[in-house]
Structure 1
Amino acid sequence: MLDYPALAALAAVVREGGFERAAAVLGVTPSAVSQRIRALEERVGTTLVVRCQPPKPTEAGTRLCAHVERVRLLEGELVAGLPVLGEPGRGNAAPVTLRVAVNADSLGSWFLPVMARFAERTGAFLDLVLDGEEHTAERLRSGEVLAAVTADPVPVPGCRMRLLGALRYVATASPGFLRRHAPQGVDAAALARAPVLRFDRRDGLQARWAQEVLGIPLDAPTHWVPSTQGFLDASLAGLGWALNPKRMADAHLAAGRLVELVPGRPLDVALHWQHARLGARLLDVLTHEVATEAKRSLSQPAEKQES
């Protein structure tokens, strides 16, 4: 039989990013957390977490953490339906929390209404893990999350997947920025010297747009702005040009505060929703809300696919 208090300690250390924070969540001492994990490692015969800052699970630790998250969800739903199964003296069962990976641009442009409706319908909570849309599926593969908004079209083993639609981006800058850096128009020479905004070192959207629209590689001075709203604000301030979600940029384009670098040449990034095959009601509700909002907010293909 698995030692669930020890597994809970392991999952808490990984989820909270440290032994002291895990101890605070579990209501025990950091020493007790460490002892539980060490005993579990001795039982399974392998290291489960690398003691660095923050602690990182090994491959075996990742698999056990994924198991714990699934058990927590199913047990939470069971106790909610049968309160007599809860711990004596604890009153109502604690709300269930789902960990979901989402990219920052989705969170900034269309995912918040999903969260609001899901919370209103279920009383459950969401613990969002932010990552690039090309990397969120890795969070699902590792078991760190139970669902993800991702650009990765490869189904994660043990998960259901559906195409949500495309998040449309437009390459924008302020009129003053273009007057300074591209007075003769946007071409290869202008983009080579005009400052560009990037979210982080893995953000390749601007380079992808330059290659697809102008057929050129992008090697330009860069401002690093790790915030979706910050991207938009920096574009408005004339700090650089960037790919911004069209839904967020439309009002500024209409008012003339932003202009498209090449009018009518957006970049569409297809997004998928993947979630664990658990048969859990909360995941079903969340999936419904995600699909409903995606239909309203994302560019839709002719036909959706589900697997």
Structure 2
Amino acid sequence: MRIYANQTALLTLLFITVYGSGFVGAKLGLAYSEPFTFLGVRFLIAGGLLAVGALLLDAPWPKNPGWFLLVGFLLQGVFSAGVFYAMYLGMKPAVCALIIALQPLLVTVLAGPYLQEEVSIQRWLGLIIGVAGVSLVVADGLAVEGITPATLIWAVVGLLGLSLGQLVQKKHCADMHLISGGALQVLGTVPLMFLLAMTFETMQIEWHLDLVISIFWMAIGVSLGAVTLLYILISRSSASQVASVFYGIPVAAALIAWPLFNQVPTMIDWVGFAIVVIGIGVANANKSGIKLLKAARSG
């Protein structure tokens, strides 16, 4: 049991680090490509590699692909499109991060009626502490410029895609084969990305070494590596428990951007980082806690 818990903790730390690096990779790439075009190329490469891997390993393909395609559409397509386009239209990354930081709370609220999960008061406390820490981390970067109805809509679309996709994955696809199922989910987003690119963009790409590095890291490191780790965590833990680790992603992104872009964390940032770690720890502590449903019944 201890070994299993240690493995899960290691996978969680690895997921947070790699997924957080994706925001840094996006910053490199979006200087040379419009967002939907960038995402279309990224998902095409990632999905192609997964499909080849599935064929080489003779992995079983889903007999009923509907739920798999829906998860890919939501968790990869809608989330990425919403976040990338909100920032492309001018929303500050810190503001976007704060909106996406509502994801653990939204997932936990919906996990009750959708997954019949009971959430302890302890976990709610950890989630609230976590969002307070994230808010403190991004507070220095908040600015009113760039906040428009359009950017807010795109950011909320990304939030909904990430949250709903995680819930559907947990309920309908938790036992999927990671390679063949992942290939189906990623490739299913490609038509959406290129449709959006043809609708909203010129689809012109300025090829540069930074762009190549960014695309391949986002395709291999994030779409293959981090998302696969996410699916493993979803299969092992409750939806609310997995959602809580997303608070660590802005922290990882900030720490990775420090040496690459000389974005030195302030004292407020370090305090926020510490609060986030405490929040994640409280939300995932190995204690039974007091279940909200039981408390309501006793009341």
- TM-score calculated relative to the size of structure 1: 0.20
Higher strand residue share? 1
Larger helix share, 1 or 2: 2
Bigger Cα Rg? 1
Structure number with the bigger relative contact order (C-alpha 8 A, sep ≥ 6) is 2
Calculate the TM-score normalised by the size of structure 2. Answer: 0.20
